[in-house]
Amino acid sequence: MSYCLNSACPHPENLTHTELCQACGAKLLLRDRYRVVQALGQGGFGATFLAKDEALPGNPYCVIKQLRPASTSAHVMQMARVLFQREATTLGKVGNHPQVPRLLDYFEANQEFYLVQEYISGSTLQQEVKRSGPFSEAGVKQFLSEVLPMLQYIHSQQVIHRDIKPANLIRRAQDKKLVLIDFGAVKDQVSPARANASENTALTQYAIGTPGYAPPEQMAMRPVYASDIYALGVTCLYLLTSKSPKDMEYDPATGEILWRQYVHVSEHFAEVLQKMLEVSVRHRYQNAAEVLRALDLEPYLDSLARSMVNQPHRSRPAGSTTPDWNSGNRTQGTVPGSIVHSSPSSPSARMAAAIRARQAKSDNSRADLTQIQTGALRRRSPQSIDGLPHSSSGMKKTDDRPATAPRKLNAEELATAYAKGRRDFTSHDLSLLQLPKVDLSGANFHSAKLCKTNLQGANLFNADFGYASLAQAICRNANFARAYLSHADLGGADLRGADLSYAYLSQANLRGANLCGADLTGAKITDEQLATARTNWATIHPSGKRGLW
């Protein structure tokens, strides 16, 4: 089909290869190369179309965005042209990233402006959630590990996206990578309504984005880089719950989304989400790098906290200087029993301060909860729904004893706990267990030990094995599709015939792992990692091709 771009055309649909529109007589081949085949969307700024580039071999698809200023006066047209060229320059700059559509062309024709961009074939995350349901915590972590570096690049180009949401993230069919679309283009730069009201007014008014996803400062026309972090946090909530922000309750006093009742994630990840979703931009993560550091810190929190407990307390003399961890400055005063730090500004000191704040917040919450519990409940150690030790860190704790390592579960206890709804087995020692053909999909085994564990034929779809040890584990024909295995130790593991499609294996140790016959389609893995493992002609590579590496 050939689609007519004349906005006044009564019947824009024409037969394929028609040169002139049968309804209005307009030329159908735009710039003598682009043939529009379908309308994709319509808005106040103009419209978006799917087209074919007939000047290139194979006639590849592309996306054409058309801007139609409401006024055609010389002044408004000149302003629109300047803003159009500025936006095209921005798109050309950020389009160098493989997860951003490339700008292919831009031009003016018949007093209308056109942007031509790369066409991305695939499903949006919104469509994916509607089709397959919410993501697990591991799935959302994998999503963040892929999107945050891309956002870091976009911000490095002095560009704020302003409209991050599930509908603007497409999983590209070709390689299953996420692509961020719709940078607002010219529609964010020109307001047709105001331009129509006065021929002398052409606005550079920025769009406020999508209500619910845009933070307060963006709604007030003052977007910053951290505005995209907030929108990314709301996107995470949608992926975890399949609920849009308008379907969630909020605090009328602060405007904060009351989201915790809808999600079941680890305490650390909940705190990362909380800081991404801070209404106050000052208290929010300021950039993508800060979020990545917070996520990467997770496996070290418990060990660092324990090392702090073991440090001797030494009193300080009166008048000594004590670090003010919140401000980075020093205050004068006597602090009996405080810990002496040789380098208050060191990363370890800042990490320790963050943990103390986290523990203090947790202690205050427990104290408030204790006041409203009955006397009998106060004397009991917290238990999970399955009767096994349960806490946010996976450690057993009573009122009068310090936290200890989680009790080692046997295979039957693990299966029973999972069947009753438990999904968090963080830091547990599950080594040597016999778990063939067990269903543990979506479970959290972050930093867990599964050395020499038998997981042959197990369903581990979308499970979190970040920093876990699966050294010499038997995982033959196991389903690790979309599993999160960042920094996992898979040294010597038997992964013959395993489904590792779209698994996240960044920084995982694969030395000596047997990947003969394994399916690595779309997996996040490097050539260097694969070179350390065993593969054969039956191994399916990330590209989807079969054969030796």
Residues with active-site annotation = 163
Amino acid at 205: Q
Question: How buried is residue 355: exposed, middle or buried, by Cβ count under 10 Å (0-12/13-18/19+)?
Answer: middle
- 43: which DSSP letter? E
Amino acid at 369: L
Q: How far is CA 498 from CA 183, 332, 436, in A?
A: 39, 60, 13
How far apart, in whole angstroms, are the C-alpha atoms of residue 456 and residue 454? Answer: 6
How far apart, in whole angstroms, are the C-alpha atoms of residue 6 and residue 112? Answer: 10
Length in residues, the chain = 549
CB 504 within 8 A of CB 483: yes
CB 534 within 8 A of CB 549: no
Decide: helix, strand or coil at residue 513. coil
Q: Which of these, 288, 86, 316, 319, lies nearest to 188 by C-alpha position?
A: 86
How far apart, in whole angstroms, are the C-alpha atoms of residue 295 and residue 112? Answer: 46
Which residue has 């000596």 as its token pair? 512
Which residue has 């599950």 as its token pair? 430
CA 264, chain centre distance (Å): 17
| CB-based burial, 471-485: b 16+ in 10 Å, e otherwise | bbbbbbbbbbbbbbb
How far apart, in whole angstroms, are the C-alpha atoms of residue 115 and residue 93? Answer: 14
Rg (CA), the chain: 28
State the virtual CA torsion across 95, 100, 101, 104 in degrees, nearest 10.
Answer: 10
Pairing of strands 321-323, 34-43: unpaired
What is the number of other CB atoms lying within 10 angstroms of the CB of residue 20?
14
How far apart, in whole angstroms, are the C-alpha atoms of residue 229 and residue 222? Answer: 14
